[in-house]
Amino acid sequence: MTKDSQARPIQSFPVFGNSTIDLADIDNDSKLELTVKDQDNSLIVYKIN
């Protein structure tokens, strides 16, 4: 189970992906996005609230 910085479970995790993840603020809104490729090499972006 994935947990936040306060050791609380993060809902809706784990998420689907078929590659190494990248965690970054890709749209410069001061919130992190998690990016991963799926099995068809499409890019999936998860916004972390």
pLDDT for 1 equals 60
Q: Assign 35 to helix, strand or coil.
A: strand
pLDDT digits (tens, 9 = 90+) for 1-49: 667 788 887 777 667 888 888 999 999 999 999 999 999 989 999 887 7
Closest CA to 43 of 26, 31, 30: 26
For residue range 24-36, list pLDDT tens digits in order.
999 999 999 999 9
SS3 5: coil
**Domain residue limits, the chain:** 1-49
Q: Quick check: pTM over 0.75? A: no
Rounded distance, CA 10 to CA 41, Å? Answer: 26
